[in-house]
């Protein structure tokens, strides 16, 4: 409940509490009992009537950013109505509450800020974190999404504006996964920003200092994690949009201390693996028979690669054999064994320089993506570079020579950062490519045939993972649980029934998808002994019981 002084009426309290507010749907009896008479217009509406009116108001907005602002305001006013609206039009709403519109919302977070949601934990208050957690509106917290705002989508450092990401992610926990919104909490770790535009902005509401780094940074994060463990020892802690130098070390350090995961590394890997498994099944060619090129060798790309390696090993390859089929290309070219300055997670993904040295077509000896495509002849191309247009016509046409159905995934988002657009990819491959994108694109008609463009969106994975974890009270999240989520997702692919179909189900079915993923994750958690022993029947009952739906509750 919102904290008010005793002289404030119960009606005002109810109208100010988004988890309890029903607005015009309060019954006459409730209005009389809780002092709401006169505070609301006389007509009593149903939730469905309210939803129709809210949808009409949303449609009247001129821009997607204005629609995002409207939805955020609705969420802060009446959560049941907000989620009923979002779920009723899920395919239309997801881009508005998350990618791609959330990117612009993060850039303009200070300008559009209206009401507080979640917790802002800034570096100057690093020794007050226990008190800050006590100030959370939610008394019971079971799921947290936290960011430090440094790597927001493909937009970079947004400082405290990055808070839009945890808010949006948790909205999808509920809308797509059915996680009860009253037990979720978004958090921003405000460690400053190196974005000069933000620092010079007179409206910027974050801590106006350069980012802390090194030991200071990791000590601050540790203060936060230890405080979380004291306050909510069984919470699910989801790391989101941390920069490459921090993302992998933080995951490695804390994954055995509490129930935690990094969606950019593990969620992206699982949804990509699910899409690729579906494409491989359709082609009747196991993933272990493909060669795969990556453009972008950061933590996200490496996470996908490691997941694919585990799948190849599951299909019978040795670790060494699987790694030979993975080509990681960054700004300096193909990662190989003679390169200096590689991070630990990159060193595990290098090619032996002796076997690839002859591939280079440049004077400096670097091996470009085009060199890799020509010589390594990959049948799968994945882009996680956050750089627009790097999948050139020459590269894509070369890919088309390597496979009858080349699989091409420009995964960078928002849309402005995509390595290529689907229409061009289909044009350059004579309509043969299987395409997955990071941001939403419309279906493409080529030579009279409609090609369904798969958005390889993490929303197919992380809400279901969270639902499964919370339902069976898992204490840790294992690699096997993400593997199980990918395999469960692949089995739902429309492309298995229609060669022109998408590699992932329709977004309109996302809650059904999340339930399927949750069941697979929960069962794997029990198998991995990170959740109490229980039967599959019990697991299914617990998952279904955990699914929250937007319905107004009767007030006692």
DSSP string covering 318-375, please? -HHHHHTTEEEEETTEE-BTT-SS--HHHHTTPBPHHHHGGG--STT----HHHHHHH
* Of residues 512, 521, 483, the one with CA closest to residue 277: 483
List C-alpha distances in Å: 313 to 92, 289, 335. 39, 11, 22
E runs forming strands in 416-455: 434-437, 444-446, 449-451, 454-455
State the DSSP H helix or E strand holding residue 144, giving kind and residue range, or none if neither: strand 143-147
- List 455's β-bridge partners, or say none: 437
Q: Is 135 annotated as a binding residue?
A: no
Cα distances (Å, whole numbers) of residue 142 to 6, 159, 193, 470 = 30, 25, 29, 8
For residue 98, indicate whether it is catalytic.
Answer: yes
Half-sphere exposure of 240 (CA within 13 A, CB side): 24
Whether 274 and 298 have beta carbons less than 8 Å apart is answered as no
Which is it for strands 326-330 and 333-334: parallel, antiparallel or unpaired? antiparallel
Beta bridge partners of 469: none
- Catalytic residue from among 169, 417, 523, 542: 169
Q: Phi/psi of residue 321, each to 5°? A: -65, -40
Q: 114 labelled as ligand-binding? A: no
DSSP-based three-state secondary structure for 444: strand
Residue 289 has what DSSP assignment? G
Strands 449-451 and 444-446: antiparallel
Is 195 part of any known ligand binding site? no
262 marked ligand binding residue: no
DSSP 258: S
- Catalytic position from the list 34, 83, 98, 460: 98
How far apart CA 340 and CA 244 sit, in angstroms, is 17
Q: Is 104 annotated as a binding residue?
A: no
**The token pair that represents 415 in the structure block:** 């849309």
Q: Characterise 288 by phi-psi region: left (phi > 0), alpha (psi -120 to 50), beta (else).
A: alpha
For the question of residue 169 being annotated catalytic, the response is yes
Could you give the CA distance from residue 264 to residue 508 in angstroms, rounded to a whole number? 23
Q: Which of 239, 337, 350 is nearest to 305 (CA)?
A: 350
506 touches 294 (CB < 8 A): no
Coil vs helix vs strand at 145: strand
Residue 151 is assigned to a ligand binding site: yes
Q: What is the DSSP letter of 233?
A: T
d(CA 20, CA 1): 8
Binding residues for (S)-malate: 151, 413, 457
Known binding site for a divalent metal cation: residues? 240-241, 264
Q: Which residues are annotated as a binding site?
A: 151, 240-241, 264, 413, 457
Indicate which residues carry an active-site annotation.
98, 169
């Amino acid at each position: 409940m919102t904290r008010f002084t005793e002289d404030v009426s119960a009606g005002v309290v109810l109208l100010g509490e988004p988890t309890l507010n029903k607005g015009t749907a309060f019954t006459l009896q409730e209005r009389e009992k809780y002092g709401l008479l006169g505070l609301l217009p006389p007509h009593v509406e149903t939730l469905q009537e309210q939803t129709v009116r809210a949808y009409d108001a949303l449609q009247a907005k001129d821009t997607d950013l204005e629609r995002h602002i409207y939805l955020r305001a609705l969420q802060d006013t009446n959560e049941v109505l907000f989620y009923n609206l979002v779920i009723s039009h899920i395919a239309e709403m997801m881009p508005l509450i998350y990618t791609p519109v959330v990117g612009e919302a993060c850039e303009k977070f200070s300008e559009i800020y209206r009401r507080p949601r979640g917790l802002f934990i800034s570096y100057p208050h690093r020794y007050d974190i226990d008190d800050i957690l006590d100030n959370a509106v939610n008394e019971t917290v079971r799921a947290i999404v936290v960011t430090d705002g440094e790597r927001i989508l493909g937009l970079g450092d947004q400082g405290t504006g990055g808070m839009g990401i945890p808010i949006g992610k948790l909205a999808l926990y509920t809308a797509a996964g059915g996680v009860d919104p009253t037990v979720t909490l978004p958090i921003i770790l405000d460690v400053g920003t190196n974005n000069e535009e933000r620092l010079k902005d007179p409206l910027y509401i974050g801590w106006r200092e350069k980012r802390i780094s090194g030991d200071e940074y990791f000590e601050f994060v540790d203060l936060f994690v230890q405080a979380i463990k004291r306050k909510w020892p069984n919470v699910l802690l989801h790391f989101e949009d941390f920069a490459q130098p921090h993302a992998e070390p933080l995951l490695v350090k804390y994954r055995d201390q509490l129930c935690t995961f990094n969606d950019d590394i593990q969620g992206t890997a699982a949804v990509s693996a699910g899409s690729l498994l579906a494409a491989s099944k359709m082609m009747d060619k196991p993933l272990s028979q493909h060669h795969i090129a990556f453009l972008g060798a950061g933590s996200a790309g490496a996470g996908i690669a490691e997941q694919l390696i585990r799948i190849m090993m599951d299909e019978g390859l040795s670790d060494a054999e699987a790694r030979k089929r993975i080509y990681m290309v960054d700004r300096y070219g193909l990662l190989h064994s003679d390169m200096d300055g590689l991070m630990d997670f990159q060193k595990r993904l290098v090619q032996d320089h002796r076997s690839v040295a002859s591939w280079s077509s440049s004077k400096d000896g670097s091996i470009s993506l085009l060199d890799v495509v020509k010589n390594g002849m990959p049948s799968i191309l994945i882009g996680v570079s956050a750089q627009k247009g790097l999948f050139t016509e020459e590269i894509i046409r070369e890919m088309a020579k390597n496979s009858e159905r080349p699989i091409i995934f420009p995964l960078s988002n928002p849309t402005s950062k995509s390595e290529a657009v689907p229409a061009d990819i289909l044009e350059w491959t004579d309509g043969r490519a299987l395409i997955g994108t990071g941001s939403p694109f419309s279906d493409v008609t080529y030579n009279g045939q409609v090609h369904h463009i798969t958005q390889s969106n993490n929303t197919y994975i992380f809400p279901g993972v969270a639902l499964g974890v919370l339902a069976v009270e898992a204490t840790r999240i294992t690699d096997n649980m993400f593997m199980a989520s990918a395999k469960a997702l692949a089995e739902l692919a429309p492309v298995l029934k229609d060669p022109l179909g998408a590699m992932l189900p329709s977004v309109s079915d996302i809650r059904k998808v999340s339930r399927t993923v949750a069941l697979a994750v929960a069962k794997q958690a029990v198998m991995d002994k990170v959740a109490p022993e229980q039967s599959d029947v019990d697991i299914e009952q617990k998952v279904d019981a955990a699914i929250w739906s937007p319905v107004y509750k009767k007030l006692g």
